[in-house]
Structure 1
């Protein structure tokens, strides 16, 4: 699919957008009142196969439990083994993750702010599911670990750095906010990649 057709398909063919209106509230659902798919779709609450039989009944999860990430276990292992795991969570491994981010993407882990939606930044910030983040890491993806312009794929830096802050400094992961400012890319590999997630 040609880049212009892909932009049209993605809805980014316009030169700019007006302000995006928020039609329905995306109010924060506290963990204590979340159930069913709300729990399964939220990595911070989804314990995957670690839910006890009682948890599965009380949260309406019986029969719904897929194999998924357990954020509590991830951070417990990271905190207990930070020295050994740091190279896997951040450099040098994060560089490989960033290079392949568009093909590895499985779920939202950051806030993606496009230059074409700059009039809607307040709305986008309100859409972040965790209220009152205390620490943000922002990138525009233009200079990532000596790899050059990775565009939106550079968001892995923001995600990985905040994971380190949690593992090494004990920052609550629900109080973090990774952000990528998508201003487009000049990277030839991204421009040729039909699966590239950012603006061309």
Structure 2
């Protein structure tokens, strides 16, 4: 059964226990944001599945409907090397030592420091997601720590190849790179859909 067929089947079934299993299956096999989003929109409130999916911004913003981004995902002119290179995540501007939050429940699978992204934290989540947080000034978690959504995992810094304080945020899904920006709005989008449907 492919993703489209399974999605239609879940809509038909509703959120019975079997339907819940099918949603988890859909999230596991989804390969891109569009498929993840369509699956999340099947969830009724309250539901804990969404907290296992990267669905919020790792940095607080004055207006979470318009998260500032200093460097987008994809091809870009590298600010230090001055040549066009693929950017595997997004850069979010921040203040030095600003708190960085995990975007989903998960398990810390790596912490360390590299030449490119400086001090970093990598977290494994359900459904094949891994998130990466780089250029940190301080790491607040250890490998094998269990993490909950919103937990502070580090502080914004400018370590590695960096021109100033910011956060490099990356997401992979089943080993495939994702554009992290749409995921930063996923929880808000889900809530807005529920509100429009008359659910609190």
TM-score if structure 1 supplies the norm length? 0.25
* Structure with a larger share of its residues in helix: 1
Kindly name which structure, 1 or 2, has the bigger radius of gyration based on alpha carbons.
1
> Structure 2 length normalisation: TM-score?
0.25
